[in-house]
Structures are given as structure tokens and as C-alpha cells.
Amino acid sequence: MKIPAWCTSAALVAAASSAAAQDFRVPPYQGIYQPQGVDERGLWMEADEAERGLRDSDLVIRDQALNAYLREVLCRTVGEDRCNGVRIYIIRMPAFNASMTANGTMRVFSGLLLRVRNEAELASALAHEFAHFERRHVLTGFQRRRSASDLLMWTAVLSAVAGQPNYAYLPLVGGVFEFSRDQEREADILGLAYLKRSRYRPQCAADVWKRLMDEADASALGRAQRSQRYDRVPFFASHPTQQERAGYLSSLAGAEVADRTVNADTFAVVMRPWIAQFLDDQIRLNDFGGTEYLLAQLAGGTWTAELLHARGELYRSRGNPRDLVHAADFYRQSVALDPSRAEAYRGLGLALMRARVLDEGRAALVRYLSMQPDARDAPMIRALIDQPL
């Protein structure tokens, strides 16, 4: 039950060329919208309830500067009038994800912020989510699923009466997932339309998907698994393949236009205070290959003390004897660049102790404790220094 992606891609590129001729017209904005009909009112009520829950959630990152920045990027992308219909919540979850509910609640995962490289890429993700909201995809998706399940029930009854197997369920169930993929494509295309009207470089939308494929390959390699296929649509997929998305976004973005911006520098400044925490969340996921790929992407050839430290933590957490040697080396490079990094001395000491290089390990731990005598693990580290085995 796999659908070759080239069918859909070809159709999209054909649609794209006609869309390109219209220069991505964005539908007129309705202003403040109130839900219509019982279905939509119900969905909004549920979304309102879930949003009230976010007020007290420990998972929401409430930092004002970071929240204001995301809002600014969204408003710059979709326009001031549109962005007023949306509340953004940054959720501390290390996966690449964002979502949009019917009532305008946009959730952006911290894992997405760790993986986009500049403001234009962030804008493309926010624009895609906003497009779901503007096209009221939650409502139409819900109605589609409901009518499919109604039909499914009737075909089951009829086939039972007729004493025949129910052959209708496969196209019905498949249709729901196909509809979901169509919604994603529609959101991709409308999202790109916002991006084209903004000052951001629209080609960035495709870059995100290309890197996600590379990261998934690196994860698979790190787990000694085969690479996934990116060109086939599994029957139950709710989203188009990453390869398809990268392909059509890239062709729809068209030729490079002058005076477009990606704002990589501003993005880096805003994200700097968050990188350490987001990386720490990522390192703890036991995904060596994917994390190593992410670190290399973040470094871009220039390994800072912070990234070297993170790399040391990654290798030390895998903990093979060869990993401990590399980890110790990364920690040493980290403290060479920034001798005030107490945590790197801790990592160095623990990597060496585990590798049974006791004297140097003890010295590094003593150094850590002299810098952070009140650390929360100080009593245990002291015990380790006194009696390492």
C-alpha cells in the first residue's frame, strides 16, 4: 500500500507552476473570527480547555524575551493583523515539532528551535502552522475523519448483512490519511506564500527538511539500522515524506531574489542562552548519531567551549572505553577555550575515573569542587575522590 511520491510531487510541481504565475495570492484576512456551527464550536471549546491547562504547565517556557521573539517573527511573516489571532506557547520537548489548534493555540517545541538555523527557517515553520489555522484544517480534518468512520460503520453493517467481507475499509481509512497529507501540502504552500510576501528568503523552507533527513540517517547509522526510505508514503502517514516536502518547497520557492534576509545573526543571539539546556535535553535521549549530527551542524566548523562540552557529555553518556577517551579530549579542549567551565572539569574527571585514569581524574574532580564547592553532587564527588573503586 505505498504510493510513489513522484506522482504527488509531479502533480504539485505542475500546480506550483500555475501558482507561481499567480504569485502566491494570500486569501483576504477575515479579522476576528468566531467559530461557526456545532462542530467548530465544539473543537474551539476543547482547544480553549487545553489552552487553559497550558497556563499552569511545567512544560511551557515562559521566558519573555524568547516568547516575544517568536511572536515578532510570526508577525513579520504573516502580517500584524493575522498574527493577532494566535497565541504562541514554547513547549520544552526535545523533538522537532510544532502544532496548531482550531482556536489559534500554536505550540512550538524546543526541539524545533534547536534544529532551525536562522530566522527565515523559523519563519517557515511558524508560517506553515499559521496556514493550518487560516485554512481551518482542524475542523475539516475532524469532519473528514467522522464521515469516514460513519461510512465505515455502514459498510461493515451492509457487508455483514450481505455475508461478504468488508472491502471498503481500506480506501476509507487510506482516504483519511491521504486527506491529512493534502492538508499538510496545502499548509506548506500557503506557508510559503506568506514567506514570499515577507522579507525572508523562501528557499530556507526546504533546507529544514533536507537536514531532518540527514539527521534521521545519522540516528539510524548510530543505532546500526538501515536508513529510512524518504521517497515512499506509508499507508498510515499523516504527513508527506520529508523528501517530497523538500522537493516541492524548493521548486516552489523559485529563483533567489536579492535583498532577502535569513537573519542568522539575530537568531543566534536570541538562542544563545537556550542552547545549553536544549542540547542537554537532546543528549539525554540516547540518540548518539542524531545528536552528533546536530552538534556538527551547530558548530558549523567552529567548535565553541559550550559545544565541545556537550560533545564530551554525549560521548561520556555512551561510555564505551573509546568514547571515554574522546570525551576526555573534548572536555580538555573545552576548558582550554574557557577555563571557567567547572562542569567540563566534572565531565573530564568522571570520564577519566570511569576509564581508570585515576590520578588525572581525581585532579580534575578536585578542580571542579574548588570551583563549585556547593554543587548538588559535591558530597558524592568527594566520596568518589576519596574512594574511587
Partner 1 sequence: MRTPTKLIALLFFVATPAAANRLIEANRSVEIADSALEVTPARDWNRLSARPGRSAETWTLDGDALNDVTFYAGIENDRPIFREVNRRNQPLPRFSSTMLLTDVPTLLENSYRVGRGVSVFAMDRVEPMRFGGQGGVRFHYSFTAGDEVRRRGEAVGAIVRGKLYLIAYEAPAIHYFDASVEDFRRLIASAMLR
Rule CB under 8 A: which residues touch partner 1?
A: 53, 56-59, 92-94, 223, 225, 281, 284-286, 317, 319, 350, 353-354, 376-377, 379-381, 383-384, 387
Q: How far is the CB of 96 from partner 1 (least distance, A)?
A: 13
The length of the chain in residues reads 389
Q: How far is the CB of 369 from partner 1 (least distance, A)?
A: 13
Phi-psi region of 67 (alpha: psi -120 to 50; beta: other; left: phi over 0): alpha
Residue (147 or 286) nearer to partner 1, CB: 286
324 to 2, 265, 310, 349: CA distances (angstroms): 44, 34, 14, 11
- Angstrom distance (rounded) from CA 349 to CA 86: 48
Residue (20 or 325) nearer to partner 1, CB: 325
Beta bridge partners of 90: 61, 108
Q: How far is the CB of 365 from partner 1 (least distance, A)?
A: 10
Q: How far is the CB of 382 from partner 1 (least distance, A)?
A: 8
Q: How far is the CB of 56 from partner 1 (least distance, A)?
A: 8
Residue (152 or 384) nearer to partner 1, CB: 384
Residue (41 or 322) nearer to partner 1, CB: 322
Residue (2 or 356) nearer to partner 1, CB: 356
Residue (294 or 353) nearer to partner 1, CB: 353
Residue (48 or 377) nearer to partner 1, CB: 377
Cell reading at 118: 536562522
CB pairs under 8 A, 24+ apart, for 167-170? 170/1
Residue (41 or 356) nearer to partner 1, CB: 356
Phi/psi of residue 4, each to 5°?
-60, 130
Q: How far is the CB of 136 from partner 1 (least distance, A)?
A: 28
**Would you say 139 and 200 are in contact if contact means Cβ atoms under 8 Å apart?**
no
For residue 311, with 0-12 CB atoms within 10 Å meaning exposed, 13-18 middle and 19 or more buried, which class applies?
buried
Degrees (nearest 5) of the Cα angle 253, 257, 260? 95
Q: How far is the CB of 268 from partner 1 (least distance, A)?
A: 24
Alpha helices in the chain (DSSP H): 5-21, 37-55, 64-78, 80-83, 110-115, 119-134, 137-162, 169-197, 204-222, 242-253, 264-283, 288-299, 305-318, 321-337, 342-354, 358-371, 378-386
Q: How far is the CB of 2 from partner 1 (least distance, A)?
A: 19
Amino acid letter, 88: I
